Amino acid sequence: MELTVYLAGQIHDDWREQLKNNAKQRDLPIHFVGPQENHERSDNIGEDIMGKQPDNVYRDDAASSVNNFRTQVLLQKSDAVIALFGEQYKQWNTAMDASSAIQLRKPLILVRPESLVHPLKELSNQANVTVETIDQALDVLSYIYE
């Protein structure tokens, strides 16, 4: 049984590549999708497509409309979601994607360092599983195939 898993979360390091490589080594029949990982492209995509906007507020709104379109298409094609929080940045879109997954009945694995236990406690309580590393998240996905 093949599965599609959406990888929500920060785009400032290569955690998605690590996770995909580990999944390949385990021979898991899982197809991973996720947001645009090129941060600059993600921030510019509104103006790249729709042209110069009046100021940064409108530039951000234009970019987020395209990013949200992408997310909605891919999230709806997914069988499960992994949402990873790092120690930097606000990451409210990660929280938004995780909460969307819960409401849309997409099974959710939350990955966060111990330092974020307190601020993420409500989201963690609603997630199916909460772990601290991407390897643990893969352990959970692998368990489906045991």
Q: Is 18 in the site for its own copies (CB under 8 A)?
A: no
Cα angle 146, 140, 67; round to 5: 130
Cα–Cα distance measured from residue 138 to residue 80, given in angstroms and rounded to the nearest whole number: 12
CB 102 within 8 A of CB 75: no
Number of residues that bind its own copies (CB under 8 A): 75
Site for its own copies in 63-82 (CB under 8 A): 63-74, 76-77, 79-80
Q: How far is the CB of 27 from its own copies (least distance, A)?
A: 18
Contacting its own copies within 83-142 (CB under 8 A): 85, 89-93, 95-100, 102-105, 107, 109, 114, 116-126, 128-131, 136, 139-140
Q: What are phi and psi of 132, to 5 degrees?
A: -110, -15
Question: In whole angstroms, how close is the CB of 69 to its own copies at the nearest point?
Answer: 4
Selected binder of its own copies within 60, 84, 86, 111 (CB under 8 A): 60
Under 8 Å CB-to-CB from 58, ≥6 apart: which residues?
A: none
Binding residue for its own copies, selected from 17, 38, 39, 113, defined by CB under 8 A: 38
CB neighbourhood size of 75 (10 A): 20
